[in-house]
Homo-oligomer: A and B are copies of this chain.
Amino acid sequence: MQVAIAQINPIVGDLPFNKAKILAAIEKAKSLKAEIVLFPELALTGYPPEDLLLLPGFIEEVQKTLFEIVDLTHGITAIIGTVRENPSYSEKGLFNTAAIIENGTLVGFQDKSLLPDYDVFSERRYFEPAAQTDLWSIRGKRIAITICEDLWQHADAVGYSRYLRDPVLELKSKAPELLLNLSASPFFQRRHLDRFEVLSKAAKTLGCPVILCNQIGGNDSLIFDGYSLAVDAKGRITTLATGFQEEILLVDTEKKGRSSPPTSNPIEELYSALVLGVRDYFSKLGFKKAALGLSGGIDSAVVACIAKEALGKENVLALALPSQFSSPLSFKDALGLVKNLGISLKSLSIEKPFECFLELLKPEFKDLPFDTTEENLQARIRGMILMAFSNKFGYLVLSTGNKSEMAMGYFTLYGDACGGLSVLADVTKRQVYLLADYINRKKEVIPKSIIKKPPTAELRPSQRDTDSLPEYSIVDTVLEEYVEEHSSPEEIAEKHGLDLSLVKELVRRIHLNEYKRRQSPPGLRVTKKAFTVGRRFPIVQHWNI
């Protein structure tokens, strides 16, 4: 049997656009002689639609649009992720579902059974779980249809949930000949290897091939990497779609897979994810041009490279905004980078406005010593200039802080945290260096001196990040263990041979700076636990502080 995977990039809430994309994919699949075309989870609404699902008018329009698609679908079976109203009286009024369409007819709906409600997922807020996973007779074959999470319990690969049901096991006695899965499975590094394991497990249990269609595209903080795939009845991979781009790919269900599992280049994936995240954030919002502050440091250099790749060199404006504390070397480095990238650079000194604020505040501040107040003033003047360019010329400002800084609160609210999108918000300093190396893999794009110099905010004479923070290697270790793994300070100290009081102090800083992160721009999520989405801690709370 020939099944087309329609790995598409829908836009949340854009029903005409998504309908057109779905219809075009159906035509393409027919031209490839596919018998079935499989779409991602919630392909019609885009994923995640969030509280759009609570608007009755939106649900009505989704249903209307689905029926328009039904009328236009002939000569192929289309399986499309959408929502439907729950006709029974039960806790939630909607199902997350797959519409099965054949010859201008809606054959039925297969609803989703396992509804993730952890991390970035809140599916219990909207959806009722399916009563069961049925077997469908499609073109003479017994086919089971599942949606994303439905397969993950069976592989024991679920986060913060342990479902009582296991749709894969429930299907075993029904002996399906083919298992399909509609997914909207967000990216983090090596995630497609997890997906392969999940499919492989299901295939081995059921003794049939499994095909998964994943969404691609960036939606706010979430990035979907695609990498749709198929395994044979023995759980060996037969097909792997490209990552980070749309693709209509034909799967032959009779094909035998290869014994080696898929491979992964984590830093290449991370880079591609960030590029896609930036590109889609701009294009789906209708923005073309980005502005960013270029300090001569590694974070803004990496963001400039990603922005150029995502938007084109003609659409990126770098602003060098030096003060009396900026080293001439920083400007030289910025210049070198800009030249290598072919993007524009403007330079405006912030010294005069800084003097002006100091003058204004002098009667109040009198002879109080220079402290973070004056540091923040500089960062905020830079933010104001970036925002003035944004307001006057329509640039969307990219914020350049990294996850390690976000964790420690080592940034200025309304200063370097200004912007429409925080590109590295979920990338630790450690990973920023790896990204720089990756960007430089063929030739020197980011000048070596940028990579080699010790990190500094240049907000006072001879400042170093290590004046206020331990080495980033320590920050990143504590950050990964505490934020991503929920390990206790005691466990972290013991596992990594760190001083317990240091670990506790870093954990304390992570909690204390919740208020700053709450007002930061949305960040692109690229790990299994980001600060800006999927992690919910109160600002006012007294645990671990």
Question: A interface vs B, CB < 8 Å?
Answer: 11-15, 17, 46, 48-52, 54-58, 89-93, 117-118, 122, 124-125, 160-164, 218-220, 280-281, 284-285, 346, 348, 352-353, 356-357, 359-361, 364-365, 368, 371-373, 376-377, 380-381, 383-385, 387-389, 391-392, 413-414, 418, 420, 486, 488, 490, 515, 518-522, 535-544
Contacts and interface: CB of A to CB of B under 8 A. Distances in A.
Contacts of A414: 380, 383-384, 387, 414, 418
A384 to B, nearest CB: 5
A297 B90 CA distance: 49
A368 B391 CA distance: 12
Contact of A538 (B13, B280, B352, B519): B13
A56 B542 contact: no
Most B Cβ at <10 Å: residue of A117, A163, A348, A359: A117
5 contacts: A51-B537, A55-B544, A373-B392, A376-B388, A383-B414
Contact of A14 (B12, B359, B420, B542): B542
Contacts of A54: 160, 486
Contacts of A124: 117, 124-125
Given A58-B543, A364-B346, A48 B92 contact: no
Nearest to A542: B14
B284 A540 contact: yes
Nearest to A14: B542
Contact of A391 (B58, B280, B376, B519): B376
B384 A377 contact: yes
Contacts of A12: 538, 540-543
A456 B537 CA distance: 37
B519 A520 contact: yes
A389 B377 contact: no
A515 B285 CA distance: 11
A219 B540 contact: yes
Contact of A361 (B371, B388, B518): B388
Given A353-B356, A392-B373, A380 B385 contact: no
A475 B439 CA distance: 49
Contacts of A48: 538
